[in-house]
Amino acid sequence: MDSIETKPSMESTRPEKIDLASAAESQAGLKDAEPVELTPPKRLVDTIMVGNGKLAGDVGFDPLQLADTSKALAWYREAEVKHARLAMLAAVGWPVAEELNGPLSALLGQESFLVGGRAPSLVNGGLDQVSVVYWLLTVGIAVAAESSYLDKQLNVDKSTDYVPGMIGLDPLNMDGPSTRTAEIWLGRIAMIAVTIYAAEELATQAPIIQDTPFLFQPIWTLGGVSQAVNEASTLVNPALGIKETLVDPLMQ
């Protein structure tokens, strides 16, 4: 049977006669056609380049051409993000240690770890005073975190939107372009700050909270500000019947 006759219908768009032989011949070439391979979508880490704006904080700065490929750029960004996060912790922890370690040690009846008022560090010394238990605990936590981090990094085939430095920790659901940009820039500033801390204490042999008190003390306790407020208060207090200055009670 080479054809089939159909009854025409006003509601049907089928032809009155179907030529089965012609239909079969039209499909014959499909048997020999090669299958079409679907190209998987490119991963983000394979498309990043210095200056193309796909990474937060990208300003196109790479004068030594170290990150001249996507793979190299991803590797350097991983390292930069790690150092940035550690530097932000250090930038806060360094002056806080110099400010609070002495009083807390005295309160607990323990010997202070400060070296001449300076935080223990490679340039200041004092790291040998820290308990071995602390170092073992710190190294253990770092190894556990790094293992999880590397697992995320090495299995990027499972995620096309993986961004270097992404470890899947976002309890407040704040991840986005603005927070990533803020993180990398604050981290860069923190890396510079910690370097200055170390250089300053090496040069002056004094704690940074002493050399630059305006960074680590309430503004009203600084000499110039304190004097200005007290002078103003001496003009206002008599009219209000107040005998004390404004700043002196705050400094006690």
Side-chain half-sphere CA neighbours of 195 within 13 A: 8
Altogether, the residues listed in the chain come to a count of 252
Convert the pLDDT of each residue in 120-160 to its tens digit. 888 888 888 888 998 999 999 888 877 777 766 666 555 67
The structure tokens 């009670």 sit at: 249
Mean pLDDT comparison of 27-36, 66-75, 139-148, highest-scoring range: 66-75
In which band, very low, low, confident or very high, does the pLDDT at 101 lie, cut at 50, 70 and 90? confident
End-to-end CA distance of the chain: 109
| Angstrom distance (rounded) from CA 88 to CA 190 | 5
Domains with residue ranges and CATH for the chain? 3-32 (no CATH), 70-215 (1.10.3460.10), 218-252 (no CATH)
Check residue 161 and give its pLDDT: 77
| Angstrom distance (rounded) from CA 197 to CA 215 | 12
pTM: 0.69
Check residue 226 and give its pLDDT: 56
Residue 165's nearest CA partner among 48, 16, 241, 55 is 55
CA dihedral of residues 145, 146, 150, 151 (deg, nearest 10):
-30
Convert the pLDDT of each residue in 6-24 to its tens digit. 555 555 566 667 667 676 6
**Residues whose CB falls within 8 Å of the CB of residue 242, separated by 6 or more in sequence, listed in order:** 233, 236
Residue 19 phi/psi, 5° resolution?
A: -90, 95
